[in-house]
Amino acid sequence: MIYLVEHFYSIQGEGKYTGVPSLFFRFGGCNMRCEGFGCSEKAPDDVIVQGCDTVYAVNKQHFGSRWQSITAIVQFIDIMESYALPEKVDVVFTGGEPLIYADDPLLIEFLEYLTSNGHTVTFETNGTMAIDFLKYPVYRRCIYALSVKLSNSGEPFEKRLKPEVFIDIATHAHESFFKFTVDKAHIGTQLEAEIEQVLAYVPNEQVYCMPMGGSKTEVEANTEAVIEFCKRKGYRYSDRLHIRIWDANKGV
Ligand code: SF4
């Protein structure tokens, strides 16, 4: 069983495939909280919940009443058929952390369906959930946007950094790249060394840095500093187009 928080057909707003029309499935649940990102949202029970910019897809206790249970692949296919999609579409699994369902037979079945029909699948992952590439070869055919968390997430080091996991993904996947969320307050601090520490494990991976923020105002406040940071380090700048355009990180 998979918890689905929302689905929408839009353009990819971040990373290497920014601007590409993509069908998003946002799964519910995450193995982290990332309260250091300083976002908050009012839940259906009127509690203000702290976390990341997708806290509504992380916190089951307060937002779970809005999540949909998916128990059969036909539910995914019905959703796809409800959109006017091109013959082959980019499908993005995001969250929360979509790979908490990595061993779920339903996800494996859906991945087989998508890839055998010529669709492209990207996982937006925090890079800490192991994938069994031997048991499930379909994962080799996917793309991975590795959004490894840094200390500004507020998560402890041992929890947010699992080199054995992202090395395995970088080694076996069709394609992968790093995506870091950076804010101006942390540029020039230990955050730079933290990124280098991650890259030392897989030095040939492409690196995208994007401005932290759950709203247009917050993203704009960090943009120029992140661009300068990218120029200095030789990383690629990634905007957060969906927030820039729609001032939100959900359902657009
Ligand atoms: S890993 Fe990602 S989805 Fe999970 S809490 Fe952190 S930022 Fe949010």
Q: How far is CA 130 from the centre of its chain?
A: 15
Q: Which is it for strands 21-27 and 2-11: parallel, antiparallel or unpaired?
A: antiparallel
The CATH code for residues 2-246 is 3.20.20.70
Ligand 1 pocket check for 127: Cβ under 6 Å: no
Atom 8 in ligand 1: residue holding the nearest Cα: 52
Taking the CA of residue 54 as reference, the ligand 1 atom at the shortest distance is 8
Confidence (pLDDT) at 175: 97
Residue 69, pLDDT score: 98
Place of tokens 């940071």: 229
Short-list 219, 177, 242, 237, CA closest to 9: 242
In the reported structure, the alpha carbon of residue 76 is separated from the centroid of ligand 1 by a whole-number distance in angstroms of 23
- Among 6, 62, 149, the mutation site with the greatest number of ligand 1 atoms within 8 A of its Cβ is 149
3-state DSSP of 184-200: HHHCCCHHHHHHHHHHC
Instruction: List the one residue out of 35, 20, 9 whose CA is nearest residue 153.
Output: 35
Smallest CA separation from ligand 1 atom 5, residue: 33
pLDDT digits (tens, 9 = 90+) for 153-204: 999 999 999 999 999 999 999 999 999 989 888 888 888 999 999 999 999 9
Closest ligand 1 atom to the C-alpha of 53?
8
CA of 32 to the centre of ligand 1 (A): 6
**pLDDT one-digit tens code per residue, 43-66:** 999 999 999 989 999 999 999 999
The kind and range of the H/E element at 228 are helix 216-233
Contact 219, 244 (CB under 8 A): yes
> Which neighbouring-strand residues pair with 57?
none
Q: Which pLDDT score, from 0 to 100, does residue 202 have?
A: 96
Angle at 115 between CA 85 and CA 118, to 5 degrees: 50
Instruction: Return the pLDDT at 122.
Output: 98
Q: From ligand 1's centre to the CA of 153, what distance in Å?
A: 8
User: Atom of ligand 1 at shortest distance to CA of 33?
Assistant: 5
Residue 205: per-residue pLDDT: 95
pTM flag (> 0.75): yes
Residue 239: partners with Cβ closer than 8 Å, 6 or more residues away: 13, 14, 18, 210, 211, 223
- Please give the distance, rounded to the nearest whole angstrom, from the Cα atom of residue 150 to the centre of ligand 1: 11
Residue-level pLDDT at 190: 87
Looking at residue 205, the DSSP 8-state letter turns out to be S
Local confidence band at 133 (pLDDT 50, 70, 90 cut-offs) = very high
Domain ranges of the chain: 2-246
Average pLDDT of the chain? 95
State whether the beta carbon of 96 lies less than 6 angstroms from ligand 1: yes
CA of 87 to the centre of ligand 1 (A): 32
Give residue 185's pLDDT. 86
pLDDT for 60-107, tens place per residue? 999 999 999 999 999 999 999 999 999 999 999 999 999 999 999 999
Q: Is the dihedral of CA 250, 142, 173, 12 positive or negative?
A: negative
Q: In whole angstroms, what is the distance from residue 198 CA to residue 166 CA?
A: 9
Give the residue, by CA position, lying nearest to ligand 1 atom 3. Answer: 96
- Who's near 29: CB < 8 A, 6+ residues apart? 3, 57, 58, 60, 95, 96, 97, 100
Q: Residue 160 CA: which ligand 1 atom is closest?
A: 1
- Residue 241 belongs to what H/E stretch? helix 241-246
Structure tokens given for 186: 């942390």
pLDDT digits (tens, 9 = 90+) for 221-245: 999 999 999 999 999 999 999 898 8
Tell me what pLDDT residue 233 has. Answer: 95
Which residues, including other chains, have CB under 8 Å from residue 144's CB and lie 6 or more apart? 122, 123, 125, 127, 169, 170, 173, 175, 176, 177
